Structure 1
Amino acid sequence: MEPENDLCIKVLIVEDDNLIAKRYEMILGKRSEFNMVGIASTGYEATMLAALYKPDVILMDIELEDKQAGLRATSEILSYMPNIKIVVLTVDETDETVFKAFELGVTNYLLKNMPPQAIASSIIDAYYGTPSLHANIAGRITREFKRIKSSEDSLIHNFYTLTQLTPTELEVLEQLMKGYSRKEICSMRHVEFSTLKTQINSILKKFNKSYIQEVVDVLRDLHIPEILSQRKDKNLPLPPR
């Protein structure tokens, strides 16, 4: 977005590397639409200066006094001053860090080696509330949201299917998830192998699977055994059928 001629965006730089901080200061100093209000080198300083100067946009490094300091400062600042826009600049490009930053409410996420124009544009876009994510970062965010949505749907679907099992089928499934063999389960339950086979086939039909290991693997991936264990510890039944 092109800036207005009389635009003056107050920017706070949060960066513990003096050379990088000077680079940002130089980038801002060449543009009339920016007014740098301060430089912080720790999460504590970032929070204090944000409260003192109330910048429009903060360029926030993630790794300050420790690897999560920038994220903690971001969380605190946005909790009390939600109108401030935060653009994260970092060398860390892991999916977990990217998603955590956006989960906290940052406006944009750029790598430190981005050219001056990209940094300036991200500040202006953040100010106007129309961030333009770098294509690689945008792809990561999109994929992560899709993964979480898919996981939630799968959790809800499979947990609902669990409620359709009989108490006997549920007990058999729990024993399978604990790693017991069919022979061991027959011995523990004092049933014939043919009876257990019938119960497993019923479980497969309800989960729409061909092999019981498929059911076990899916439920383990969704941490269903832990959920069931927690409910038992609290004496909570499954939802009624």
Structure 2
Amino acid sequence: MRAGFRMILESAGDMVVVGEASTGAEAVAAASALRPDVVCMDVQMPDMDGIEATRRIVADASPSPSIVVVTTFDRDDYLFDALAAGASGFLLKNAGPEELISAVRVAAAGDALLAPEVTRRVISRFAAPSASADGETSSAGRDGGRHPGSRQPDDVSRVAAGLTDREAEVLRLVAQAMSNAEIARRLYIGEATVKTHVSNVLQKLGARDRVAAVVYAHRHGLA
């Protein structure tokens, strides 16, 4: 399987496989020594499983590589445990060669790698909308309109997080699984500007990556 992955990835022409590991412990050691940009991590391995290896790599390296979990098993516990451990993506081994290459490129760019159906599962598990921290919510009169002066939960959450209007707008589009290029086209701004906005959003939210930002956006009514 590793030999096949190496052949696929190096055929892309714009990436190099710098190392391989057959156990979780070897993966942690290799990541520390080689400092890769992206790690494709299995789940079931000898000595240490991929979830624990992911957790250790993320904790030990600064900056840590983006980790894409590649597994045979489409199981919710693997998905959620991997994301909680710090993985930036989740891919099944039956994905085609183009999908694997794309996954590594997406992870290297700092984007989240979650298929739409996986995103829905993450949101349903972790991101039920909640009231704002100060308890302020919008209210409606008998006619269904908002009371004067009331603010919607997304406005409260945006202010609490210190996001500008533009940053909140970018976050909403990130939560729709749009790439930086797609957001740039939607907002008629440069892709470098979008990247700056996304970086500011992650910093203000204290989010490690776009996956965490998506969860935050849905949990706080920003998407």
- Which bin holds the TM-score, normalised by the shorter protein? 0.5 to 0.7
Who wins on radius of gyration, i.e. which is larger?
1
Q: Does 1:57 align with 2:38?
A: yes
Could you tell me which residue of structure 1 aligns to residue 71 of structure 2? 90
Question: Counting helix residues as a fraction of each chain, which structure ranks higher?
Answer: 1
Could you tell me which residue of structure 1 aligns to residue 93 of structure 2? 112
Amino acid at match of 2:122: I
Secondary structure in 1 matching 2:102 = helix
Secondary structure in 2 matching 1:37 = coil
Question: Counting strand residues as a fraction of each chain, which structure ranks higher?
Answer: 1
Amino acid at match of 1:75: R
Higher relative contact order (CA 8 A, sep 6+): 2
Instruction: State the Cα RMSD in Å.
Output: 2.0
Q: 2:117 aligns with which of 114, 123, 136?
A: 136
Distance 1:110 1:78 in 2: 18
Q: Does 1:126 align with 2:92?
A: no
Distance 1:110 1:146 in 2: 21
- 1:52-88: CA deviations, max 9, x gaps? 110000000011116x611111111100114211000
Distance 1:25 1:96 in 2: 27
Distance 1:75 1:130 in 2: 19
Task: Give yes or no for contact 1:122–1:131 (8 Å, CA) kept in 2.
Answer: no
Structure 1 unpaired stretches of 5+: 1-19, 154-241
Report the alpha carbon displacement of residue 89 of structure 1 after superposing the two structures with TM.
0.3
Task: Give yes or no for contact 2:57–2:64 (8 Å, CA) kept in 1.
Answer: no
Could you tell me which residue of structure 1 aligns to residue 189 of structure 2? none
Report the alpha carbon displacement of residue 31 of structure 1 after superposing the two structures with TM.
1.2
What TM-score results when the alignment is normalised by the length of structure 2?
0.55
Report the alpha carbon displacement of residue 131 of structure 1 after superposing the two structures with TM.
2.3
Could you tell me which residue of structure 2 aligns to residue 72 of structure 1? 52
Report the alpha carbon displacement of residue 132 of structure 1 after superposing the two structures with TM.
3.6
Change (3 A) 1:114 1:77: same
The percent identity for this pair of structures is 33
Report the alpha carbon displacement of residue 94 of structure 1 after superposing the two structures with TM.
1.7
How many residue pairs match? The answer is: 131
